[in-house]
Homo-oligomer: A and B are copies of this chain.
Amino acid sequence: MEQSSDIRIDGRAIAKKIEERVKADAERLIKRGVIPRLVSVAVDDEDPSFESYMKSRAKACARVGIESEVEIVPLKDAERALGLKAARLSEDRSVHGVLFSLPLPSGVNDQSVYTRLDHRKDVEGMHPWNAGLLALGRPRFVPCTALAVMEILKRETIDVEGRHVVILGRSKVVGAPLASMLLHKSTGGNGTVTVCHSRTRDLPHFCAQADILVAAIGQPEFVKGEWLRQGAVVLDVGTHAIDDPAYKRGWRLVGDVHYESACTVASRITPVPGGVGPVTTALLLQATVRAAMGADE
């Protein structure tokens, strides 16, 4: 993969820069006696990858001076338990940011949970109030993954204005809020945006038109290089573990894009791992420290 090193977007380097600034902000807060604190609430569904995911988030928090905590609620009667957590954490003045591990179990109405959370602590931007501010063009807290895509475009000086951005995936956490931001009349916005999804007919046809392609469709190595326009910018939001006996541990991480083939046509591309993921985490830290700064005003 040596030949692609110049087109590869280094998400870890971007995340590091963001974290440096967040750390400085956190230090200022701590000097004033405010320790930024993030609570993750998860449902006990025994997902084996969950623990390592939480560990890596806790490490990231620690790096910048954020205290973090995980609270687990039982799967049984999860909606009620999550709502109670939301209400309790909203009251707790020592907590600045709260997030729920998404997706919530099927059957749980996420909105009945999020509306019980103080929207000033909603660091993932899933409360109706925050989703509304974004839709109306005045974003405050927005989903971190969608924001990570915007941040990468900005930091890599990839101009969106007037260009055709094709988003694969319409989820509330990535596709939909990202479309909203890319369309805004503001720096970093002004793109022409197409949103595709599982019901789209002839996905390759749309991919071929993208100046900038964002893959957030949740299918490992789904987008092939031959679907892409020569010179396209490719941002890969997916993360999947697939079996690979060539690796000692028996698996490797891949994205929604078939990286090898995409590298032959893309002008810039985010790898998986090391692309959108670390930037997303850094932006979660940023949102938490901002929430703490807001509470301290």
Q: In the complex, are the beta carbons of A135 and B176 less than 8 A apart?
A: yes
With known contacts A127-B132, A129-B132, A176-B183, A195–B192 Cβ distance under 8 A: yes
Q: In the complex, are the beta carbons of B128 and A132 less than 8 A apart?
A: yes
Q: In the complex, are the beta carbons of A162 and B195 less than 8 A apart?
A: no
Docked complex Cα distance between A193 and B200 (Å): 9
A101 CB within 8 Å of chain B: no
Chain B nearest CB, measured from A167 CB (Å)? 10
Chain B nearest CB, measured from A177 CB (Å)? 7
Oligomer copy total: 2
**Cross-interface CB contact of A201 among B162, B177, B179, cutoff 8 Å:** B162
A264 CB within 8 Å of chain B: no
The total of chain A residues at the interface (CB under 8 A) is: 37
Chain B nearest CB, measured from A133 CB (Å)? 5
> B-facing mask of A193-228, CB < 8 A → 1, else 0?
111110111000010000000000000000000000
Interface residues of A in 161-186 (CB under 8 A from B): 161-163, 170, 172, 176-177, 179-180, 183, 185
**Cross-interface CB contact of A183 among B110, B130, B197, cutoff 8 Å:** B197
A99 CB within 8 Å of chain B: no
A16 CB within 8 Å of chain B: no
Q: In the complex, are the beta carbons of A172 and B206 less than 8 A apart?
A: no
Q: Can you pick out 24 interface pairs between chain A and chain B where the beta carbons lie within 8 Å of each other?
A: A110-B136, A126-B136, A128-B128, A128-B132, A128-B136, A130-B132, A131-B133, A131-B136, A132-B133, A134-B135, A135-B172, A135-B180, A136-B172, A137-B172, A162-B199, A162-B200, A170-B185, A176-B183, A183-B195, A190-B199, A192-B196, A192-B197, A192-B201, A194-B195
Interface residues of A (CB under 8 A from B): 110-111, 126-138, 161-163, 170, 172, 176-177, 179-180, 183, 185, 190, 192-197, 199-201, 206
